[in-house]
């Protein structure tokens, strides 16, 4: 092989390496962008987990208040049975006036928040 052939071969290899370096650079930017999006999603997930924990704690606290109310005021008109839950996690349990108050307030606020079918959201 003469000197020109070696030079041509080396030049071609150099161009190939430069092309690979550009490709690696593009892929690195894509990976960095992906990592950034993953970090954002992890922050969102963490925030949502905290909100869910808050809502669960609120539910438990409100249930404790309602049980205390039941115990202290068993004859209250708010505890009058008005039916039975027909679906969802409360199926077969008594539906009381307090349930109707809850459902009405829940559905109104859910609709304000853009939820088209609040009943399905609360398990009915």
3-state secondary structure of 116: coil
Distance CA(63)–CA(69), nearest Å, equals 10
**Residues 80, 97: contact at Cβ < 8 Å?**
yes
> How much is the CA Rg of the chain, to the nearest whole Å?
32
Tens-digit pLDDT profile for residues 39-51: 999 999 999 999 9
Tens-digit pLDDT profile for residues 69-124: 999 999 999 999 999 988 888 888 899 999 999 999 999 999 999 999 998 888 77
Instruction: Please determine, for residue 1, whether its predicted confidence score (pLDDT) is greater than 90.
Output: no
* pLDDT at res. 62: 94
The whole model's pTM is what? 0.64
Give the side-chain half-sphere CA count within 13 A for 102: 13
Tens-digit pLDDT profile for residues 13-31: 988 999 999 999 999 999 9
Instruction: Please determine, for residue 6, whether its predicted confidence score (pLDDT) is greater than 90.
Output: no
Mean pLDDT to the nearest integer, 49-77: 95
Query: DSSP assignment, residue 1?
Result: -
**Structure tokens of 88?**
């969802």
Produce one character per residue of 20-53: b if its CB has 16 or more CB atoms within 10 Å, e if not: eeeeeeeeeeeeeeeeeeeeeeeeeeeeeeeeee
* pLDDT at res. 24: 96
**Structure tokens of 20?**
């690979």
């Amino acid at each position: 092989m003469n000197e020109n052939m070696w030079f041509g071969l080396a030049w071609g290899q150099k161009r190939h390496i430069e092309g690979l370096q550009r490709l690696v650079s593009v892929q690195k930017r894509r990976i960095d962008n992906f990592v950034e999006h993953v970090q954002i999603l992890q922050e969102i997930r963490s925030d949502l987990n905290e909100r869910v924990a808050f809502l669960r704690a609120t539910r438990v606290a409100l249930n404790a208040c309602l049980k205390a109310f039941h115990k202290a005021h068993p004859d209250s008109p708010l505890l009058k049975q008005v039916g039975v839950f027909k679906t969802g996690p409360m199926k077969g349990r008594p539906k009381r006036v307090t349930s109707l108050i809850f459902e009405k307030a829940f559905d109104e606020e859910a609709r304000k928040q853009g939820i088209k079918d609040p009943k399905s959201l609360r398990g009915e």
